[in-house]
Amino acid sequence: MWYFSWLLSLNRFAFAVIPNRMKNYLCTILTAVIVGFYPIRISAEGPIKIGVLTSMSDEWAAMGKATLRGVEIAIEEVNRDGGVSGRRIELVLEDTQEANGGARAVNAYRNLRQRGVQWFIGPAGAPGALSLAPILVSDPIVMITPTVGVRNFSDAGRNLFNSRGIDEQASAEMARVAFSRGWKKAAILASQQPWEQAQGEAFGREFKKLGGMITAQEFPLPETNDFRTTILKLLAGNPEVIFLSNYNRVGVAAKQLAQSGYTGPRLTTVLDSSALEIASGALNEAEFASFVGPTEIFRKKFREKFEVDPDLGADTAYDATFALVQSLRETSGSDASKVSERLSSIQFEGAAGHVSFDTSRIASRRLKRFIVKNGHIEEMIKEG
């Protein structure tokens, strides 16, 4: 362009005739002028930021850490493969501390939006999801949750996706398992936290539909740590099985249930390593249903990087990140509506198995059953 030729000519002339002590000063001025004429593509060539909203410092920290690690593996692979149109992906993390409420998730989201983040993995659970949904639907963003197992989130808007699936399916499956074993009387310990309440209600609905009786159901505050009175109420009806869906405090509740003298069967929602550690053996032989995954390939790469097995959230976070990046690649990554449209039809084999989204933008996934043996979670191959 003509002004660059003119500036270069002026530069050559000036350096030939002016004293040496003024050359550095002139070079600085000319650089500023050139930058002023040529402010192009600096932001376009910068990294694409993906915000991660998850719980890192509360009762859900194990899940949050696994989620973060799943995203990290995916981003490392994407960047090794050239990023998105040559632009690297940059991970930006905010701790949402959602175990007992969604307020911090809203603040975390706003912090990331102020930093220019448009693409998100998160939030961690129903408290954050239900608090964020009314805000997200009107923002030009796309968010995929890898760990929220309720329908309400993705139902709120076409820019919201769920790579985990709906956990009420698993809770209903455990009701069918209980009834099939001849247990006709069940008690439920959930909480007033939305996800935990939804799981308890799903179990109860299915169990009663099959002809069973719910002898007691308790929904204490999510932060409850003393369950002795609650347990007395549960045991008063002589249940043949107890379903525990208070994920935040399931380890504490299981330990106190054992201390009460209850030795009957326990069925639960999904468990993670922190719950087993807190329970100190009180969850041995407990059973739960959850979704298929992670694949052995993902387990291997996760172990190689972190020297531990992947915990709850790692595989679905990896898949959420890969799905988002692939959609950004195929749409040039600027228009949230185009990225959402591409995500709706994406299909691939991921860390949690085959990945695709239904018309409600929820991942379609198969259930499997698991049992705790000697402090470890094992897949149940056969009924029994």
Q: How confident is the model at residue 9 (pLDDT cuts 50, 70, 90)?
A: very low
* pLDDT greater than 50 at residue 355: yes
In whole angstroms, give the CA distance from residue 293 to residue 119: 25
Q: How many separate domains does the chain show?
A: 3
Mean pLDDT of 90-118: 96
Looking at the structure, do residues 84 and 177 belong to the same domain, yes or no? Answer: no
Is 42 part of a structural domain of the chain? Answer: no
What is the reported pLDDT for 382? 54
pLDDT tens digit sequence for 271-307: 988 899 999 999 999 999 999 879 999 999 999 999 9
pLDDT for 273? 86
Averaged pLDDT, 247-258 = 96
Per-residue pLDDT at 201:
97
Please report which confidence band the pLDDT of residue 39 belongs to, taking 50, 70 and 90 as the band edges: very low
**Residue 2: band (very low, low, confident or very high) from pLDDT cuts 50, 70, 90:** very low
pLDDT-derived band at 332 (thresholds 50, 70, 90) equals: confident
Q: Which two tokens stand for residue 24?
A: 């550095």
Give CA torsion, residues 348, 127, 360, 65, to 10 deg. 0
Percent of the chain with pLDDT strictly greater than 70: 88
In terms of domains, do 189 and 151 share one? no
Question: Residue 239 domain-assigned?
Answer: yes
pTM for this entry: 0.81
Q: What proportions of the chain, in percent to the nearest 5, are helix, strand and coil? A: 45, 20, 35
Say whether both 159 and 91 belong to one domain. Answer: yes
Strands 142-145 and 160-162: parallel
Residues 239 and 324 in one domain: no
Task: Please report whether residue 150 resides in a domain.
Answer: yes
Asked whether the beta carbons of 311 and 271 are under 8 A apart, the reply is no
Paired strand residues for 121: 52, 144
Q: What pLDDT does 190 receive? A: 98
Residue 259 pLDDT class (50, 70, 90 cuts):
very high
Which pLDDT score, from 0 to 100, does residue 99 have?
Answer: 86
Residue 205 belongs to domain with CATH number: 3.40.50.2300
> Does residue 219 fall inside a structural domain?
yes
pLDDT at 25 over 70: no
Do both 108 and 173 map to the same domain?
no
Per the domain annotation, does 332 fall within a domain? yes
Within-domain flag for 376: no
d(CA 207, CA 194): 20
223 and 131 fall within a common domain: no
Do 162 and 67 reside in the same domain of the chain?
Answer: yes
Mean pLDDT of the chain: 89
Structural domain harbouring 337: 48-166+293-366
Q: What is the mean pLDDT of residues 47-75?
A: 96
Q: How far apart are CA 226 and CA 217, in angstroms?
A: 16
Residues 144 and 52 in one domain: yes
Residue 334 lies in a domain: yes
**Region 110-115: what's the mean pLDDT?**
98
Q: Is residue 179 domain-shared with residue 262, that is, in the same domain?
A: yes
**pLDDT, position 40:** 32
Q: What is the DSSP letter of 57?
A: S
pLDDT of residue 384: 43
- Whether residue 94 is predicted with pLDDT greater than 70 in this model: the reply is yes
Cis, bond preceding 39 (omega within 30 deg of 0)? no
Q: In which band, very low, low, confident or very high, does the pLDDT at 30 lie, cut at 50, 70 and 90?
A: very low
Does 103 lie in the same domain as 75? yes
Same domain for 65 and 158, yes or no, is: yes
Instruction: State whether 155 and 245 are in the same domain.
Output: no
Residue 287: inside a domain, yes or no? no
